[in-house]
Amino acid sequence: MTATASSRKLVRKQFLVSPAQIDKLSSLAASEKKSEAEIVRLAIDAFEPRGLDDMSSNELMELISQRLKEAIYSTKKANEVVSRTLKTLSTG
């Protein structure tokens, strides 16, 4: 048992996993030189289904602002290409 596991109370839990997940777990444990149980605990600790929840509102607004600017720029460029193409087609 690692220092992480021995420093906190652990509860036994059983889960059903696929053979492929067992193979992956075994490989990860061997390559990291950790127990399979420790790999599972680390994976649970690392799992963040709502990763954006950890961002501050300022960081989130900055991200949204940047993505919106990129989308506007791309749309303008696409509109320019469409306009040139329409001109070419109407004069041709």
Encode the chain (92 residues) as per-residue pLDDT tens digits.
555 555 678 999 999 999 999 999 999 999 999 999 999 999 988 876 666 566 778 878 888 898 899 999 999 999 999 999 999 999 87
- C-alpha span between 78 and 85 (Å, rounded): 11
Whether the model pTM is above 0.75: no
Q: What is 14-58 written as a DSSP string? A: -----HHHHHHHHHHHHHHTS-HHHHHHHHHHH--TTGGGGS-HH
Query: Beta-carbon neighbour count of residue 39 at 10 Å?
Result: 19
Domain boundaries, the chain: 15-47, 52-92
> Under a CB-based contact definition with an 8 Å cutoff, are residues 25 and 37 in contact?
no
